Homo-oligomer: A and B are copies of this chain.
Amino acid sequence: MPVRQLRNDPDEFVAEALRGLQGAHPELVHCQPDPAYVLRAQPARRAKVALVSGGGSGHEPLHTGFVGAGMLDAAVPGAVFASPTAFQIAAAIRASDRGHGVLLIVKNYTGDVLNFSIAAELVADEGIEVGTVLVDDDLATEPAAEGGPGRRGTAAVVAVEKICGAAAERGATLAELVALGRRVVDSARTMALALAACTQPGQDRPSFDLPADEVEFGVGIHGEHGVGRRPFALARELVPQLAEPVVRALGLASGASVLAIVNGLGATHALELSVVHQELSDYLNGLGVEVARSLVGPYVTALDMRGCSVTLLRADAELIELWDAPVRTPALTW
């Protein structure tokens, strides 16, 4: 059976969803239609550094669902799986700046890096101070050598937005936020697998097919192929295969403490994600690694992809305290 969606014209999908987000949360967000960006409905009481992120749509709640107190000041959505324009990004930066500078949180994709960088130059000429944190946590795309686009940015971006968002509310400067965000990125790595690919609006077939006895390892969040296929297996066998390279890349050893994100890629049920978390905890506890805090749910999706990603972030007292700080955004509130 072809895959179908609840939508109207695929070309209006994102614009109509933004109207829906606005209608559902008028107290939290203000969605500008053209150029499209999403702003906090009520600016922070105290002027502070503004946080702006964005990227292709199809990953909701990222980024638009994370606009609000304690997280982003603005999010800039592109079309599905396509970067927003520099013009959109610059408009969002101008609208969020309150004279203390703007932190740009950018996932490492060629289009996003280019367009955020052009936007940063545009507004710098207007006197707005801008700093950038590039998020590149996806181990599946670890380059074998220097050069090339490097690792993709995936679910660690949620931690960067949350932790830097909390620090900004407490009055951190732009330079401090850039350093903090880079520290989070350096401490975090992610690995993902898919049981089934996603279907783009306007298509009626998933972007790739998988044999019944295989899973796609190292998938990204755009329906692209992963880095290899492995036998389908029980969660207790698959989850350590996700966690092991992350543990190795971060050099986690007994006594370490981590923040864990078990992220659903779109069509993965909450029961499944809870089982994945259980297996992840068991695996890490077996290594003597403590899971200090966890986030379990669909936070960075790839439309209706079935599967999950596991992100670990080396924790310390400062990061845990910022992780725990209050937040109120469309996706993170009643």
Query: A-side interface residues toward B, CB under 8 Å?
Result: 1-9, 13-14, 16-21, 23-25, 57-58, 60-61, 65, 80, 162, 195-196, 204, 209-212, 232, 234-236, 238, 262, 266-279, 281, 291, 294-298, 301, 303-304, 306-308, 327, 331-334
Which 7 pairs across A and B sit closest by C-beta, in order of nearness? A20-B274, A20-B278, A60-B270, A17-B274, A267-B267, A20-B277, A24-B294
B17 touches A275 (CB 8 A): yes
Query: Cα distance A57–B80 when bound, in Å?
Result: 33
Number of copies: 2
Query: Cα distance A1–B278 when bound, in Å?
Result: 27
B16 touches A278 (CB 8 A): yes
Query: Cα distance A217–B213 when bound, in Å?
Result: 34
Partner of A275, one of B4, B6, B235, B238: B6
Tell me which residues across on chain B come within 8 A of A234, comparing CB atoms: 7-9
A275 touches B8 (CB 8 A): yes
Chain B's closest residue to A22 (CB) is B278
B60 touches A14 (CB 8 A): no
Query: Cα distance A8–B266 when bound, in Å?
Result: 20
A7-B275, A13-B275 known; A1+B270 contact, CB < 8 A = no
A271 touches B60 (CB 8 A): yes
B17 touches A267 (CB 8 A): no
Query: Cα distance A24–B282 when bound, in Å?
Result: 12
A7 touches B272 (CB 8 A): yes
Partner of A278, one of B19, B196, B266: B19
A2-B212, A212-B1, A238-B6 known; A274+B162 contact, CB < 8 A = no
Query: Cα distance A274–B17 when bound, in Å?
Result: 5
User: In terms of DSSP, what is the predominant structure of the interface of chain A?
Assistant: mixed
A4 touches B195 (CB 8 A): yes
A294 touches B209 (CB 8 A): no
In the complex, which of the residues A3, A267, A269, A272 has the most CB atoms of chain B within 10 Å of its own CB atom? A269
Tell me which residues across on chain B come within 8 A of A303, comparing CB atoms: 269, 271
Add 20 more A-B contacts to A5-B195, A17-B270 (CB < 8 A). Answer: A3-B196, A4-B195, A4-B232, A4-B306, A6-B308, A8-B234, A14-B271, A17-B272, A17-B274, A17-B275, A17-B278, A18-B274, A20-B275, A20-B279, A21-B274, A24-B294, A60-B270, A266-B269, A270-B301, A327-B334
Chain B's closest residue to A234 (CB) is B8
Query: Cα distance A145–B14 when bound, in Å?
Result: 44
Tell me which residues across on chain B come within 8 A of A232, comparing CB atoms: 4
A294 touches B25 (CB 8 A): yes
Tell me which residues across on chain B come within 8 A of A308, comparing CB atoms: 6
Pick 6 A–B contacts, CB within 8 A, sort by A.
A5-B272, A6-B238, A19-B274, A58-B271, A304-B306, A332-B334
Q: How far is the CB of A142 from chain B (nearest CB, A)?
A: 24
Tell me which residues across on chain B come within 8 A of A276, comparing CB atoms: 6, 20
A273-B20, A275-B7 known; A209+B60 contact, CB < 8 A = no
Query: Cα distance A162–B162 when bound, in Å?
Result: 26
